[in-house]
A and B are shown apart, each in its own frame.
Chain A
């Protein structure tokens, strides 16, 4: 799986958009970008994933650059409950690669400030 690089920490004001960057310059053509988050002392929670098109769901938006070497997770209106470690993971897509696990990097600690 391709390696990812994320800033170790970020702050965001409550109610503002949180933009979390991720670099994955060695991503392969069949690899997806997944985002998970982990609130303190809880299990990781899936947020969103995508291949090359921008994606949006009820939690967030995922913007992937045209060359796919980087992406940005956007939380449009951050709340205090969005304070968590956010993990960007690159791996082969759904159903591919048998029982491939998720490999977690160090992630970005997002702190939403009141």
Chain B
């Protein structure tokens, strides 16, 4: 149980286009979803936190108008990279949080989406 999926797993796009990444909790309802970004040979950096039905909270230095997050339901959050540029090329990972799960393990990560902007 507690599987998180991401789609697409890999995307290549031209500079200036927008890309949407979906994050779904497949067998549970997520109260909160997190979006991380990871550049090569670096650790995961939190971009934003989103709660269903409310606006996302962005970390300092992350442009909210560039990285649009929509969390319309308890099982789906989307990240749209608008007007993507080569410097946005990265590995984007979402995680979903569920409260009250036995064993205390709360966050479940998706497999990640590799974005390459040409």
Contacts and interface: CB of A to CB of B under 8 A. Distances in A.
B114 to A, nearest CB: 7
Contacts of B104: 32, 49, 93-95
A101 B49 contact: yes
A44 B109 contact: yes
Given A41-B114, A43-B110, A44-B93, A95 B49 contact: no
Contacts, number: 54
A102 B45 CA distance: 10
| Chain A contact surface mostly | loop
A107 B49 CA distance: 22
Q: How large is the interface on B (under 10, 10 to 19, 20 to 34, 35 or more residues)?
A: 20 to 34
A101 B46 contact: yes
Given A99-B49, A101-B49, A104-B43, A94 B105 contact: yes
Interface in A5-47: 32, 38, 41-46
A41 B100 contact: no
Contacts of B106: 94-95
Interface residues of A, number: 21
Q: Name the residue in A32, A43, A95, A99 with the highest tally of chain B Cβ atoms < 10 Å from its Cβ.
A: A43
Contacts of B93: 43-44
A106 B109 contact: no
Given A49-B104, A99-B97, A101-B34, A43 B112 contact: yes
Contacts of B6: 43
A9 to B, nearest CB: 12
A103 interface: yes
Contacts of B111: 42-43
A105 interface: yes
23 contacts: A32-B104, A41-B91, A43-B4, A43-B6, A43-B95, A43-B109, A44-B95, A44-B109, A46-B105, A46-B108, A49-B105, A93-B104, A94-B105, A94-B106, A95-B106, A99-B31, A99-B32, A102-B95, A103-B46, A104-B43, A104-B44, A105-B43, A106-B43
Interface of B: 4, 6, 31-32, 34, 36, 43-46, 49, 51, 91, 93, 95, 97, 99-101, 104-112, 114
